[in-house]
Amino acid sequence: MAVRTLTINDKLVSSPEGATILQAARENGIDIPTLCQLDGLSTVGACRLCLVEVGPAGRLQAACVTQVAEEMVVRTETPKLREYRRMIIELLLTERNHVCSVCVANHHCELQDLAVKLGVDHVRFEYLHPHLPVDVSHELFGIDHNRCILCTRCVRICDEIEGVHTWDVSGRGTNARIISDLNQPWGDSPTCTSCGKCVQACPTGAVFRQGSTVAEMEKDRQRLRFLLTAREKREWLV
Amino acid sequence: MDLNELNGIAADQQASRKPCVIRCCTAAGCQSAGSAAVLKALQQAVAEAGKQDAVEVRSVGCLRLCCQGPLVQLDPDQRMFQKVRPEQASSLVAALDGGTTDAEPCDPAAPFFALQANVVLVNSGRIDPEQIEHYIAADGYQALAKALTEMTPQDVVEAVTRSGLRGRGGAGYPTGVKWSLVARSQGERKYVVCNADEGDPGAFMNRSVLESDPHSVLEGMAIAGYAVGASQGYIYIRGEYPLATQRLQTAIRQAGRLRLLGTHILNTAFDFRIDIRIGAGAFVCGEETALMASIMGERGTPRPRPPYPAESGLWGYPTLINNVETFANIPQIIRRGADWFASLGTPKSTGTKVFSLTGKVRNTGLVEVPLGTPLRVLVEDIGGGSPSGYIKAVQTGGPSGGCVPAHLLDTAVDYESLAAVGSIMGSGGLIVMDDENNMVDVARFFMGFCMDESCGKCIPCRAGTVQLHRLLTRILDRKATRRDLVLLEQLCGMVRETSLCGLGQTAPNPVLSTLRYFRHEYEALLRGERRHGGPHPDDQ
Ligand SMILES: Cc1cc2nc3c(=O)[nH]c(=O)nc-3n(C[C@H](O)[C@H](O)[C@H](O)COP(=O)(O)O)c2cc1C
Ligand code: SF4
Ligand code: SF4
Ligand code: SF4
Ligand code: FES
Ligand code: FES
């Protein structure tokens, strides 16, 4: 396989042709924040947290969807990137009702982790406080739209891994919503197999297992890895 | 159908032409002013006068001065009449023989008409858009015949490249370069797509072209298909354009019947079909990757590029996407030559551009001028200036564009000059503003548009436009502090640099350009002064 040599944060790294900047960075122990990306799922480049500066002009490119190229020069931590990433988190926190102290995902939430890591200690934008429903019609799971960041991981895992496509997105702009089937209660979904993959994939407390109380929802990402390895490599390793 | 038969149709059409023609505009602008009734009354009046053999009443496309519709023009003497009412029909027919009419005249020698060019709109207002014979008699489909019989696909690409034509959909990407990329792309199938989504507020250029001369777009697409090796084309048109859609359907049917579309076009081995896909009125579906998703039956949201459509477009095959007006230029480039086209406009922005002139200006309507024409000529001479006598700014490029202040009205309308003053050419919307317009309000209007039209996929645009809109509202409500203004500018930069597609990337432009030229209006609101428009301090 052809190899590409590039520079990430002044460090010379090599990476197989066709790999993304994100993969190359992770292989080399360089951490780039992500939210919409999840190993094994297709990439959508939607959250924009993984933006990095590329080339002498420092053009911003999403690391999860940009392929490495020979002699590419990448910077993953600059004052501008730090500032933009913080703003993205602030925009998410103000867009819906993220009240961590009463959330099932408290301490197990990727949004919260990123907010801490990026030093978001205050929010400069107005809280929008939308009125959003919680759907607990499913016998095992629930979806709380107040916590949803529209990363579409649930949509993709249900479609691409479970092969069911229960979830999709309706509406546009800030009115966009995750819906099950034809915008009906999740419990009425004729397609959902209750496999729980969306629960595992969700980075926040938006899709949860019922009966979880505050801070109880821990995600088992290993389970997803296991499924993917089994599917892609036909290896059933635990 | 071969070239001889094509020429035969043209000759028959010319031979059957009656000595007098009354042209009545039935494009959407005039129809909304009641031109369908005028057309009917004119036909009746001709019949009553027993002049059917000498006078043809023709339904034509846009005659350009849409604000004065319904418009009627008499041929041969070329007199024009505006705001025509059905009861004036018989006197108009009598006027053909020198009789008097009480219909309100409209001077075809006025600067509004005289300063315009006639390339894309050459047939607009002259031929009946629902009669393919009219188009053929005006040299229609000759370019396709020439391309298919005298040129190789590479020759066609080269001609388009040499013409210097740049995409009319907004970004001004060189059309020849795009065509050669698609031509060189490998794929067992390729597609040609015409972008007729035209969602900018105040823009109606593409609609007018489709309503007035649909065959020019079909011919341009067929030539493109031949050049890049595609045999299927799609026209993606917004659902709000029923008349344009209906005229396109008629045109496609007629062209198919004459074998100018379909299989073995003009007795050659070239096959090309065109189908229409109707959008549901989402601005973002004009973005090429969202448009393709919509054609494929998916949710119309953009995806990151690369891969570009030229490499991987519809169903993963190489796809050429161009704007309506880009395609409408092609037949003439092929027929009259690349050098002729390149001689129009400026060296870097060749040809002409169609604009829809609206806002605080006397003459609103459809305007075509050579690129490089000063903005001042467009708004003061062609547009006749503003009714209040004061022009404060001209907004170009719609929600992705900016406001050019009056002191820069001598800016030439070409891709580079407009970019240099912080605006863009865009697809051709021109909105004139006077001192009644508060520029912060203008910025908020466009931000509200982007906020409503954001697809919601990426966070900076989805949530950022909402916050920008809130900040602008706070400023307008005189509740903002200086920190809000700083935050506004920071957020503009962030949304511009981090959004996934052009919608978000350009959404801050109206704010940035009004901040650049009209910062004093923001400052006045911060100081708590009453919100009003007012002239630019330099103009007082
Ligand atoms: C939000 C958005 C809306 C757009 N809307 C249109 C449109 O209505 N018509 C159009 O031709 N191009 C539109 N474009 C540009 C297209 O993506 C594409 O560049 C264009 O159709 C290419 O054609 P051209 O090279 O002939 O200009 C839009 C782009 C964006 C980002
Ligand atoms: S539980 Fe499984 S099938 Fe049901 S929505 Fe979630 S991922 Fe899809
Ligand atoms: S429910 Fe969870 S996984 Fe689905 S889009 Fe919302 S945040 Fe993402
Ligand atoms: S920039 Fe706006 S319209 Fe474009 S993908 Fe992002 S949310 Fe959608
Ligand atoms: S992780 Fe790359 S855009 Fe979300
Ligand atoms: S629509 Fe009739 S003149 Fe433009």
Q: Ligand 4 pocket by C-beta < 6 Å: which residues?
A: B 284, 301-302, 454-458, 461-462, 499-501, 503-504
Domain count, chain A: 2
Nearest Cα of chain B lies from the Cα of A44 at a distance, in angstroms, of 7
- For B308-353, the pLDDT digits (tens) are 999 999 999 999 999 999 999 999 999 999 999 999 999 999 999 9
Mutate to test the interface with B, among A22, A34, A48 (most CBs of B within 10 A): A48
pLDDT value of position B539:
72
A94 to B497: CB separation less than 8 angstroms, yes or no: no
* Cβ atoms within 10 Å, residue A82: 13
Alpha helices in chain A (DSSP H): 21-27, 79-95, 110-117, 153-156, 197-201, 221-233
Domain count for chain B, please give it.
4
Reply yes or no on whether the pLDDT at B533 is more than 80: no
Q: Tell me, what's the pLDDT at A215?
A: 63
Beta strands in A40-133 (DSSP E): 51-54, 59-62, 73-75
The least confident of A46-55, A132-141, B523-532 is B523-532
A150 and A70 within one domain: no
In this prediction, residue A237 carries a pLDDT of 60
Considering only CB atoms, which residues of chain B are within 8 Å of chain A?
A: 282, 284, 299, 303-304, 451-460, 462-467, 470, 487, 490-491, 494, 497-500
Tell me the one-letter amino acid at B80: M
* SS (HEC) of B302-340: CCCCCCCCCCCCHHHCCEEEEEHHHHHHHHHHHHHCHHH
Q: Positive or negative CA dihedral for A66, A68, A73, A77?
A: positive
Q: Give me the amino acid identity at A230.
A: A
Check residue B201 and give its pLDDT: 87
CB proximity list for B41: less than 8 A, separation 6 or greater: B86, B87, B89
The answer to whether residue B129 sits within a structural domain is no
Is residue A238 included in any domain, yes or no?
A: no
Distance CA(B108)–CA(A99), nearest Å, equals: 67
Which of A84, A149, A169 minimises the CB distance to B498?
A84
Would you state the pLDDT for residue A211? Answer: 83
Q: Which residues pair with B21 in a beta bridge?
A: B56, B75
Residue B209 shares a structural domain with residue B321:
yes
| Residue B255 to residue B92: CA distance in whole angstroms | 34
Q: In this structure, are A111 and A228 located in the same domain? A: yes
pLDDT, position A230: 66
Q: Ligand 5 within 6 A of A49 CB?
A: yes
CATH of the domain at B453: 1.20.1440.230
Range of the domain at B426: 352-433
- B366-402 per-position pLDDT tens digit: 999 999 999 999 999 999 999 999 999 999 998 999 9
Query: What pLDDT was estimated at residue A236?
Result: 61
User: A226 and A155, same structural domain?
Assistant: yes
| pLDDT value at residue B537 | 76
Candidates B521, B522, B526; CA nearest to B536 is B521
Total count of residues recorded for chain B: 540
What is the per-residue pLDDT across B183-198, written as a single tens digit (0 to 9) for each?
A: 999 999 999 999 999 9
pLDDT, position A223: 65
Residue with the smallest CA separation from ligand 3 atom 4 is A154
Residue B473 within a domain: yes
Report how far apart, in Å, the C-alpha atoms of A216 and of each of A18, A103, A182 are: 39, 9, 30
Same-domain check for residues B227 and B180: yes
Could you give the C-alpha distances from B397 to B165, B171, B414, in angstroms and in order? 18, 10, 12
> b/e map of B154-169 (b: 16 or more CB within 10 Å)?
eebbbbbbbbbbbbbb
Shared domain check, A223 and A120: yes
> What is the rounded average pLDDT of the residues A95-120?
93
Where does the pLDDT of residue B414 fall: very low under 50, low under 70, confident under 90, or very high at 90 and above? very high
Q: Is the CB of B470 less than 8 angstroms away from the CB of A92?
A: no
| B94 and B57 in a common domain | yes
Calculate mean pLDDT across residues B426-436.
92
For ligand 1, atom 22, which residue shows the shortest CA distance? B322
Whole domain around residue A14: which residue ranges? Answer: 3-76
Query: Can you tell me the distance from the alpha carbon of B321 to that of A162, in angstroms, rounded to the nearest whole number?
Result: 35
Which residues are within 8 A (CB) of B261 and not within 5 positions of it... i.e. 6 or more apart? B218, B222, B252, B255, B272, B273, B274
pLDDT score of B507: 97
Token pair belonging to B224: 């493109």
Please report, for the domain that includes residue A22, its CATH number. Answer: 3.10.20.740
Whether residues A87 and B491 touch (CB distance < 8 A) is answered with: yes
The pLDDT assigned to B461 comes to 98
Chain B residues inside the 8 Å CB shell of A95: 462-463, 466
pLDDT band, very low/low/confident/very high, at A212 (cuts 50, 70, 90): confident
Rounded Cα distance between B264 and B136, Å, is: 19
Of B79, B374, B341, B320, the closest CA to residue B187 belongs to B320
Within a domain: B122:
no
> Which residue from A46, A84, A126 is facing B458, i.e. has the nearest CB?
A46
Place of tokens 């795009």: B178
Q: Using the predicted structure, report yes or no on whether residue A225 has a pLDDT greater than 80.
A: no
Q: Are strands B55-60 and B20-25 parallel, antiparallel or unpaired?
A: parallel
Determine the pLDDT at residue B444: 97
Residue A238 has pLDDT above 60, yes or no: no
Whether residue A70 sits in one domain with residue A116: no
pLDDT of B94 strictly over 60 = yes
Per-residue pLDDT, averaged over A133-160, amounts to: 97
What does each C-alpha distance from B238 to B199, B280, B292 come to in angstroms? Answer: 8, 6, 14
Instruction: Identify from A37, A91, A182 which residue to disrupt to test chain B contact, counting B C-beta atoms within 10 A and taking the largest count.
Output: A91
How far apart CA B415 and CA B418 sit, in angstroms, is 6
Q: For residue A228, is pLDDT > 80?
A: no
Amino acid B281: pLDDT: 86
**Residue of B299, B458, B460 lying closest to A169 (CB–CB):** B299
Percentage of chain B modeled with pLDDT above 70? 99
Check pLDDT > 90 for residue A213: no
B242-257 confidence digits (pLDDT tens): 999 999 999 999 999 9
Structure tokens at B180: 């050669």
Q: State the average pLDDT over residues B164-181.
A: 96
pLDDT tens profile B50-93: 999 999 999 999 999 999 999 999 998 999 999 999 999 999 99
CA distance A99 to chain B (A): 18
